[in-house]
Chains A and B, each alone.
Chain A
Amino acid sequence: DIQMTQSPSTLSASVGDRVTITCRASQSISSWLAWYQQKPGKAPKLLIYKASSLESGVPSRFSGSGSGTEFTLTISSLQPDDFATYYCQQYNSVWTFGQGTKVEIK
């Protein structure tokens, strides 16, 4: 299975900060990568698919980039509603997820 590694595991930031989360794949996955946001006690919510395509209804402050083995999720200006855990997921082969990055209030 393809291993997905996210960094950092935890990120402390303030409202208005620019935040970047990195996801690395153990082998090339082209652009077959999705990003999800999960809040405590809730289901994951799709943010980005195909590495950089924004899901309908997701604020434009979220963006994704990368291809091959290295990807990033960027939040251009962190809002109070964005404090959550973020997961990357590859779908080049059997689905696997990163371990998650918790964005917490600084």
Chain B
Amino acid sequence: EVQLVESGGGLVQPGGSLRLSCATSGFTFRDRYMDWVRQAPGKGLEWVGRTRNKARSYTTEYAASVKGRFIISRDDSKNSLYLQMNSLKTEDTAVYYCAREGGYCSDISCYTYFDYWGQGALVTVSS
């Protein structure tokens, strides 16, 4: 059974930092591209960023709203995904989900969706 379990959420002041973790099991983590998606209270879903696998040099991509402040990393030996959030703003308040990509990738392009999600971790940025 595929499982993704986030941890590390909490209350942080504006300008502060927080690190989320996502522990996974039930699939070959090292082969997969993994993502973070967030949802502000009462709002819709927003993609945050992605990490590719070792075959693609662990390259990352980020949404414009978090680029330069958030860093996604992974530890394949621990089957875990991380989100380091720096210079946090009140508008970063959200439930953060880790998600596994499913779908199709070639050397040229990727067409992937999110086939498994964690239960989410609430991050509240407030003074």
Instruction: Find chain B residues with CB under 8 A from A62 CB.
Output: none
Q: Name the segment of B51-59, B69-77, B79-87, B117-125 touching the other chain.
A: B117-125
Of residues 45 to 97 in A, which have CB atoms within 8 Å of B's CB atoms? 45-46, 49, 55, 87, 89, 91-92, 94-97
Residue pair A45, B113 in contact (C-beta under 8 Å): no
Let me know if B26 is at the binding interface, CB within 8 A: no
Q: How large is the interface on B (under 10, 10 to 19, 20 to 34, 35 or more residues)?
A: 10 to 19
Q: Flag B91-127 by CB within 8 Å of A: 1 or 0 each.
A: 0000001000011000000011111111110000000
The dominant DSSP class at the B interface is: strand
Number of A interface residues at 8 Å Cβ cutoff, please give it.
Answer: 21
Point out residues on A near B: beta carbons under 8 Å. 32, 34, 36, 42-46, 49, 55, 87, 89, 91-92, 94-100
The answer for the CA separation of A92 and B97 in the assembled complex, in Å, is 21
Contacting pair A43 B120 (CB below 8 A): yes
- Tell me how far the C-beta of B72 lies from the nearest C-beta in chain A, rounded to whole angstroms: 14
Contacts of A45 in B (CB 8 A): 117
- In angstroms, how far is the closest chain A Cβ from the Cβ of B3? 12
Q: Which residue of B lies closest to A95 (CB)?
A: B47
